[in-house]
Amino acid sequence: MRQNSITIYGRPLVYGACEGYTLVSDEPISFYGGVDPSTGRIVEKGHPLKGQKISGKILIFPYGKGSTVGSYILLRLKRKGLAPSGIINLESEPIIIVGCIISQIPLMDRPSIELKDIPNNRLIKMVVSRDKAFITW
């Protein structure tokens, strides 16, 4: 039986469309020092997603933290084919915004539901354009 599809809207930040499995973190992520740019895995001590690979995922987390050089880490991941396909934040800040623009990773924030209500490891579509941003599954 086919379930009705669900669509969640947010604020469009970096345009693009992608599809991927969700990886949801209720903790902020530091790309510099917290993600290994040679493997795409989260390596921050004590992080709930430690050991998880973010590559190809639609990565969902509240906001970026740590060093601003984190923007370059997103770019390094992208050029190695290890970046997330898309990013959704509660509230994006300059580290993630700059990183996504220079790496051309679709980005939206302020989703209309709480992050924890977005299912983990679910195949979703993400579309971000000038007028709107949404995810659907």
Partner 1 sequence: MYLTKEEERILDGEMGEARQLAMEVVVKVGEVMNAEKLIPVKSAHISGVSYKNIGDEGLEFLHELRDKGGMFTVKTTLNPSGIDLDKWSRMNSDEKFAKKQVEIISVFREMGAIPILTCTPYFYVDINAGDHLAWAESNAVLYANSVIGAFTNREGGPLAVFEAIVGKAPYVGLHLKRNRFPSVIFDLKNVRDYVKERGLYANLGYYIGYIAKKGVPLIRNIPEGLREKDTLKLFLAAIGASSGIGMVILENISPEYLNIMRENLSCLETLAPDVKEIIDASEKIQKSNLEDVDAILLGCPHLSLNDIRRIAIFFKYRKPKKRVILFTARQLKRPAKKYVELLEKNNVEVYYDTCMVVADLRRMNVSSCIVDSAKAAYYLTAQGYDVKILGLDEVLKVATE
- Catalytic machinery residues: 67
Instruction: Determine, following the binding rule CB under 8 A, whether residue 36 of this chain makes contact with partner 1.
Output: no
50 lies in the binding site for partner 1 (CB under 8 A):
no
Binding of partner 1 by 102 (CB under 8 A)? yes
Locus of tokens 């989703």: 111
Structure-block tokens of residue 107: 């980005």
Q: Which of 29, 35, 98, 124 binds partner 1 (CB under 8 A)?
A: 98
Min CB(11)–partner 1 separation in Å: 8
Cα separation of 93 and 110, whole Å? 12
CB 69 within 8 A of CB 98: no
Residues 6+ apart with CB under 8 A from 45: none
> Which stretches of the chain bind partner 1, using CB under 8 A?
13-14, 32-33, 37, 67-69, 71-72, 75-76, 78-80, 92-95, 97-99, 101-102, 109
